[in-house]
Structure 1
Amino acid sequence: MDALRGEDPRHAGDFVLVARLGSGGMGEVFLGRSPQGRTAAVKLVQPELARDPEFRRRFRLEVAATRKVASPWTASVLAADTESPRPWVATSFVPGLTLTEAVETAGPLPERAVLRIAHGLVHALRDIHAAGLVHRDLKPSNVMLTLDGPTVIDFGIVRAADSSVVTRAGAIVGSPGFMSPEQARGLEAASPSDVFSMGCVLAFAGTGRAPFGSATDSGVPAVLLRVVSEEADLTGLPGSLLSLVAACLAKSPAERPTLVELGEAPAIRSMAAPGHAEWLPAALTSSVARRVTRALDLETPKPPAPPVSQTPTAVPLHDAATVTGATPPSAPPQSSRAPVRGTVGVDPVSRAGRARRPALLTGSVLAVALLAVVLTIIVPGLGEDQPSAEPAPQQSTSGPATPAATPEPTPAGVVPPAFLGAWRGTITGDQERLMTIAQGHIGSTVVVTRTISSDTKCRGTGTLVSAGESAIELDTVVTESIPEGGCVSIGGQRLTRIDDDHLRWDAASGTGILTRQ
């Protein structure tokens, strides 16, 4: 996740673009935020492709087709504009690592993690195929690893199975090294093609390398030749995965197992019941948790800066009587504007209103106005995790004494720094709770939670209700339940700080201790 560049667009439809996620041959991907505060991965098509009528036709068909998929194992389409000068599509944002990044970071994944990926891919592909689609570009960079399991993203070249082929005759569509033999030959790619690609992805996860070699090392033609005519290199793949992956990589589509058969395989079926142990190595779990926290930080809505007025008006720190030298009121008026979300003790009116009516400022008012300018510049630099300093009253060096500005009150609550980060513990008996807490203000989403028991897996989010130095209160809702309907929202929860590494969790259903991860 990188900062926006100067030439990057700032909007796609109603989505405000806040960061860069990546780029590829089809276009650039940005982190976007809807007016309701929901984050999305927004893909903008490359300008040269946008000028190609054939590409626009295919893009239009594929966006319409992808909307049909509703699966907890895939990123869903939230919005799209296929007719704009630069077409775009927004899908649900999945905070995590791609399988490519995970292997580059930690090397080949352990057997249990690869089986968990296999379980998720089987379900994702079954849901895609049930909607009458074929993915056709399943590869490690299109598999996101989250705290709960894998998620399939980027339906960039997915095709409706019952429509005519929209690619040019003889074109090879897919990624060398992860495409099926029929794709490499430029033939029709049906659901068995996705099974072959899944086998390649699992081999990569378990060995740390593509089973037919890298196009970067030996070139695309050599890799495609191996895909079509040579056996995959599965050296080092754990035993329970070897036969499963080898079956998926059969050259003939008819000889590959179906997704139903794969779902019934004992090794994959064993992953259906949620367990207490983390499914990813500890280093990767920490990396994913950090990305979740960073995504939540970006998810907090930030209103635009107030417009700069061209017509001078009264300095907001004092009323008109004070500016003109009349007797000041007993107390300065309070601003009716809400403070900036996510900051402490800073009000936009302090910035928008300073230096108005400059010709009327006396020496005493100028001192106060300069103090307001200094505080306005310095306080944001303190960061969201630090309280703002209250200015000492200033005495004018000339003219009658003028009361110092009363600082804006601290917003009604932000998450204290001691609570930020990833936490884990056992609650209400045998349930394992994991919480990632990010900075935010009352009313914003500051927590991602997941709870695992012997028979359920629940994911949720939490809104900040109140915050103090030693405790915060949350209102949580369930966003995903496996099995469906198996999770019940706990609602109100309270987290109390015990020390730097421990929080006490309390709710109507029970209590527990969370430890910093």
Structure 2
Amino acid sequence: MDELRPQDPARIGVWQILARLGAGGMGEVYLGRSPGGRLVAVKVIRDEISDHPESLARFRREAATMETVRSPYTAQLIEASLDSSPYWLATEYVPGPTLRAAVTGSGPFPPESALRLFAALAEGLATVHVHGVTHRDLKPQNVILAPQGPQLIDFGIARGLEQTLLTQVGMAPGTPGYAAPEVLLRNEVGPAADIFALGATIAFAATGRPPYGGGEASAVSYRTVHEDINLEGVRDDLAALIRRCVAKDPAERPELAAVIAGCAVDSALAADAHYRSVARDAEAVPEGVAEAAPEHVTAVEPEAEPKSARWGYDETTPYPSPNRRPPAPTRPGRRKGWLAVCALGLVVPLGLWLLPGQGDDKDTEAGTTGATTSGPTANTGPKDDAKDDAKDDPAQGPPDHIVNDRVSQDRWTLSDDPQQASQGIGSCDMGSLADSSPPTDMQSSVSHTTGSGTATAAFRPKNAGKGERPAPYYVSVGIRPPHETDRATGRPLKSVGKGIGFTSKPVDLYSKWSSGGTIKFQYPDDFRAHFDARTVDAIPVSDDPGDWTVVLYHVEGGPTKYTSIVCNGFHA
């Protein structure tokens, strides 16, 4: 739960808006209070995508599904406005962390606790199926751990059981790692696919790991279809039940009643010590939130709310083929600007960032996403004088950090083309990059999941481990939010971001030469903003929606001697 921002509405319908509960590809979710004091969750579709037919259809379908499904395991629909913009729905407020947040913060569930959660979620899915509905996107993010038991949320792609196929060939609902093989291969969606997702969700709860590993969506989808689930360290009886649920053939998966029986629970989940400990934060609204809205929020009707960012959404964004093993990144064609691939909505968003000098000169496909990236046109070879500077005294090493002491001309923006924007494609104004370029053997990527507070930046030399290790070439990653950072509080200001943002510790591009070469930084954990006499921790991505710029810097000397070499970004 986060504080409201200046651009957030003070009231939606009869509901006074008190706090932000989250955000996603379709819009924002707020904590609201009725005139009589009842708390609700208000989900508002963004103005920028309200004219998109698929988005509006999904939103209306979610309201209809919630009205149809009456279950102790789902939040109840209280009110909805679906006839004219702004479109919104208000549901029962279910306090509690998501299963993903609980496992991330407190670690995996013990076996007995995982079995009790298994049984409860199976029972919840059974009550949904009784109403003729399949959830189609069960995953840890869509399970709230309320004090009385788990709640299933986000029915935006739920469908009736008779509606097993999407209307467009080659499109798949759900989330990689939790969507069943038949969904990925044939778009076949039925109760058995929900059971697969249930098994994968419990695997995450029991291990704390993505059930089919991480990485690009294409790689996760490939492993889901062709490889075994990762259950290392899981107790035998729990692992056996999970494996039955995630059988590749949907006909081999057990019925939900059999899953519940297989869990053999003998006590209530709400009485489980581990469950109580991770759900305890759900028992109260933070002090002061329910009393009044912050004074800085302007009381405007939603119709008058300014558009603060451009959003795109495409419910039918296709998965890369799960039958195609993802190839190694190859060199894109050289054009001015950069294109980033970042799918919004149901498919896990993925930004692919390929740098100049990655293989042959001809245009090639960027992974299996069906889009290409491009690099700067000037100085396509390595900058000899910069590299020579790095060789002067390799033993000295890089500075501990670089200083945010300048106005950056490198800026990434989401495409104005609706189709490209719906896929998260944008371009970067090259700015100072006209005077520099990266090493010809450098590869890199940046990824961000829509609605999350994190991002990952990685880079490596293409030929790591082959031949003699090159002389050090120090690199720092800079990630700049859409708005400027308050140096005193670290929070976003209203002004547009102009500095270099939050930066990583400079490292040698070739420091992992013998172990694969890949260097990864996790945002916000590995990033800080360093000013002259002050250091500020990085903010979560979700705290500042808009266009984020990601720049690689060649660090040539002290903390103020660095040059931008590659620009990219993503939309949050």
Q: TM-score, normalised by structure 2?
A: 0.49
Count of equivalent residues: 296
CA contact (8 A) 2:120 2:269 kept: no
Q: Retained in 2: the 8 A contact 1:119–1:269?
A: yes
Does the alignment pair 1:7 with 2:3? no
Between 1 and 2, higher relative CO (CA 8 Å, sep ≥ 6) is seen in: 2
> Offset at 1:148?
2.7
Match for residue 294 of structure 1?
285
Show the 5 A alignment for 1:104-503: 104-163=104-163, 165=165, 168-214=168-214, 218-265=215-262, 267-271=263-267, 273=268, 277-280=272-275, 282=277, 284-285=278-279, 288-289=280-281, 291-294=282-285, 298-299=289-290
Go from structure 1 to structure 2 and tell me whether the alpha carbon gap of 1:120 and 1:300 turns closer, same or farther (over 3 Å shift): farther
Mapped contact 2:139–2:197 kept (Cα < 8 A) = yes
* Alpha carbons of structure 1 residues 231 and 73: separation in structure 2 relative to 1, 3 Å: same
- Using the alignment, how far apart are the partners of 2:249 and 2:164 within structure 1? 23
What is the deviation of 1:107? 1.3
Contact in 1 for aligned 2:27/2:46 (Cα 8 Å): yes
1:66-107 CA distance string (max 9 Å, x none): 211111111121121122313212221111111111111111
Distance 2:186 2:23 in 1: 26
Deviation (angstroms), 1:64: 1.3
Distance, in Å, in 2 between the alignment partners of 1:145 and 1:54 is 30
Partner of 2:34: 34
**What SS does the corresponding residue of 1:5 show, helix, strand or coil?**
coil
SS state at 2:284 partner: helix
Q: How far apart, CA to CA, are the structure 1 residues paired with 2:186 and 2:10?
A: 38
Structure 2 CA distance for partners of 1:280 and 1:181, relative to 1, 3 Å = same
Once the two structures are TM-superposed, the CA of residue 23 in structure 1 deviates from its matched residue by 0.8
* Deviation by residue 1:222-278 (Cα, 9 ceiling, x = unmatched): 10011111111111112221111000000111100011111222x34434x578552
- Kindly state the Cα deviation for residue 191 of structure 1 after the two structures are TM-superposed: 0.5
User: What residue ranges of structure 1 are gaps of 5+ in the alignment?
Assistant: 305-517
Stretches of structure 2 that go unaligned for 5 or more consecutive residues are: 296-572
- Segment of structure 1 superposing worse, 176-185 or 293-302: 293-302
**Contact 1:142 1:152 (8 Å CA) reproduced:** yes
Query: 1:280 aligns to what SS in structure 2?
Result: helix
Distance between the aligned counterparts of 1:229 and 1:102, measured in 2? 29
2:48 corresponding residue in structure 1: 48
TM-fit CA distance, 1:163: 4.4
Q: Contact 2:206–2:234 at 8 Å: present in 1 too?
A: yes
**Which one has a larger percent helix, Structure 1 or Structure 2?**
1
Larger radius of gyration: 1
- SS state at 2:57 partner: helix
Asked if 1:81 is matched to 2:72, the reply is no
Q: Is the CA contact 1:66–1:158 (under 8 Å) kept in the aligned structure 2?
A: no
Compute the displacement of 1:115 (Å).
1.4
Report SS of the residue matched to 1:97. coil
Q: Give the match's secondary structure for 1:74.
A: coil
Counterparts of 2:91 and 2:186, CA distance in 1 = 29
Structure 1 residues 375-407: Cα deviation after superposition (integer angstroms, max 9, x where no partner): xxxxxxxxxxxxxxxxxxxxxxxxxxxxxxxxx
In structure 2, distance between residues paired with 1:101 and 1:303: 26
State how far apart, in whole Å, the 1-side matches of 2:254 and 2:288 are: 43
Query: SS of the residue aligned with 2:285?
Result: helix
Q: Which amino acid aligns with 1:280?
A: Y
Identical counterparts, % of pairs: 40
What secondary structure does 1:176 align onto?
coil
Provide the rounded CA distance (Å) in 2 between the counterparts of 1:201 and 1:88. 29
* Root-mean-square deviation (Å): 2.5
Contact 2:62 2:154 in 1 (8 A): no
Aligned twin of 1:62: 62
Q: Give SS of 1:185's match.
A: helix
